[in-house]
Amino acid sequence: MIDSHCHLTSSQLAHRVEEVIDSARVAGVHTLISIATDGADALAARQIAEHHENVYFSSGIHPLYADGEWLWEYVLEASKDPKCVAWGELGLDRHYSDPDFALQLKLLEEHLALIEGEKHDSRPIIVHCRKAVDDLLPIFKASSFEGSRFVFHCFTEGVDEMKQILEFGASVSFTGVVTYKNATEVAAAAQLVPLDRIMVETDSPYLSPEPVRKERPNEPKNVMYVASFLANLFGMPLSEFESITEQNTTRFFGL
């Protein structure tokens, strides 16, 4: 399997990253994509990817890091590496009051302009969206990007939001949240996703899935539990669902 979204540079994982990668491999998770939260983080992810054949990474600035330094030169530098397979994560977050939403919007505007400036670049874009589907979709639709270039990672919304995202043409990725007993609306929304547009992730070190929800930190090896839950939801064998998500992730990220 592939963990399509983890944060190997997180302070909870980086000090034992070799162990984390090895544990994932033993569990059958053969490829990891470490997602950047800012420019410096993208360069740190690049360093891990340079030393591990099965690790890839992204380059971008997370909306919750909008009050930090916008080191676009670092974002661009990291993006030039052949193992950088995506932009982001980028987006908007209304769950938290900080950073200021207007600042997040300005960051997103600059981020999309930077990607649009890379004329011959067609890499996918990883979206962080929390309670902000109605804000983000008009912005994306007004850009030069096709909907199929986006993946809404860590989907935590409901059926109505899912319908809008799918109509836009984006892919959707699920974390351990979908396995939670109090997240029935996320599971209901998941059932709407076409099988050629679904991916799985851990977002580790966060969001440990059931049945290991109490374990901290979460690790890429646990993506198996997310896949197992979704396979049951779709009424198919785990091996079949694993194959589908692996094909989707490989194609989407050009692995």
CATH number at residue 164: 3.20.20.140
Q: Residue 128 has what DSSP assignment?
A: E
Between the two ends of the chain, the Cα-to-Cα distance in Å is 13
Q: How many domains does the chain have?
A: 1
Full residue range of the structural domain in which residue 240 is found: 2-253
The whole-angstrom distance between residue 92's C-alpha and the CA centroid of its chain comes to 14
The neighbouring-strand residues paired with 57 are 34, 84
Query: For the CA atoms of 9, 11, 200, 250, what is the dihedral angle to 10 degrees?
Result: 10
At residue 30, the pLDDT reads: 97
Model confidence, pTM:
0.97
Closest residue by Cα to residue 21 from 46, 51, 43, 42: 51
Range 250-254 contact pairs with CB under 8 angstroms and sequence separation of 24 or more: 250/2, 252/124, 252/151, 252/171, 252/199, 253/4, 253/33, 253/56, 253/85, 253/86, 253/124, 254/85, 254/123
Alpha-carbon distances of 142 from 61, 108, 176, rounded to whole Å: 20, 13, 32
Three-class DSSP category at 181? coil
Strands 125-130 vs 84-93: parallel, antiparallel or unpaired? parallel
- DSSP structure class, residue 63: G
One digit per residue, the tens of pLDDT, for the chain of length 255 reads 999 999 999 999 999 999 999 999 999 999 999 999 999 999 999 999 999 999 999 999 999 999 999 999 999 999 999 999 999 999 999 988 889 999 999 999 999 999 999 988 999 999 999 999 999 999 999 999 999 999 999 999 999 999 999 999 999 999 999 999 999 999 999 999 999 999 999 999 999 999 999 999 999 999 999 999 999 999 999 999 999 999 999 999 999
CB-CB contact of 207 with 156 (8 Å): no
**What pLDDT score does 186 carry?**
98
